[in-house]
Chains A and B, each alone.
Chain A
Amino acid sequence: MPMCASKTRQHKSYWAQQLFHCIEEMAQLNTNAVLLTLADVDVVESGRSYPDEGLMFANKRWRAFYHCHEAATQHENEHGHFHIFTEIGEQEWAHAAGLAIDDSGQPLHWFAVNRWVTDGPWLDRVQFIQQLQATTDNEQDSLAGRWLFALLRLHQSELIDMFQSRDKQLRSHPDHLQHAVALEDRNIYTLAIEKIELQAMLEKNLLH
């Protein structure tokens, strides 16, 4: 990769442009990332993950699926959410973030879940940053995959804040000295939330 392209990717404006291109492509098709992910699905079933094989992106180093829970376990105004994982070893996937989506396919907020929710290895904040910066976008990825990765990179700072809030929340757990106990506490599903203001974020990084 040329040096200048690599440097460009460190800037939020690059990811804002990539995201906007994805949105423009979707707009032309009157669709969004969730509808694209559910394109071959006749009936959406709660609790089931789509697509079956997972949505791979960013040179297959990142992977996501979309699903809906029954209403009682959903966040407010949420239709469903993407769970986004990153490969941290040979076929070893760690959960990086959840992305809540409203019923018109728009991103509502990022969220961090407790370890028991997604199983697998626990991703710390430093690892998350390294994973995000070590991978780059791939034009061959699906439109939904490119949209997800651009959204992740554009919100890198906000996601780092979310990881800090998540860790702070865990430290306030009565069993915080026994880290493993807190991570398996079935009473705690969501540990942190970071709101998404898509329009404002795009304007801030494309127009200013």
Chain B
Amino acid sequence: MKRKQSRIIIGTAISAAAIAIAVDHTRQRLPEPEITVASQDAVIIIDEGDELPVDNAGDCSKPDRPGRQASPCSL
């Protein structure tokens, strides 16, 4: 009985160790993010002669025309 118990404990320890080792191998340093100077919301192609669009994208003070910055984590 004593021997059987020891075996179970060893088995459990190995499995727990396997989890710890696997998780540990996924601990890999992530690259430091660079702070962007200005974000680009979209590429707008303007045909020659056309008027330039009003540049208020991202201006949270204009709720009727919310830009991407109004919802910083949207899809």
Contact = CB atoms under 8 A, between A and B. Distances in A.
Q: Range of interface residues on chain A?
A: 35 or more
B25 A30 contact: yes
Interface of A: 20, 23-24, 26-28, 30-32, 34-35, 38, 41, 43-48, 54, 63, 65, 67-70, 79-80, 83, 85, 93, 95, 98, 101, 103-106, 113, 116-120, 186, 198-199, 202-203, 206-207
Contacts of B6: none
Question: Considering residues B20, B31, B34, which has the most beta carbons from chain A within 10 angstroms of its beta carbon?
Answer: B31
Interface residues of B, number: 29
Nearest to A16: B19
Contact of A105 (B15, B26, B35, B70): B26
Interface SS of chain A: helix, strand, loop or mixed? mixed
B54 interface: no
Contacts, number: 111
Interface of B: 12, 15-16, 19-36, 39, 60, 70-75
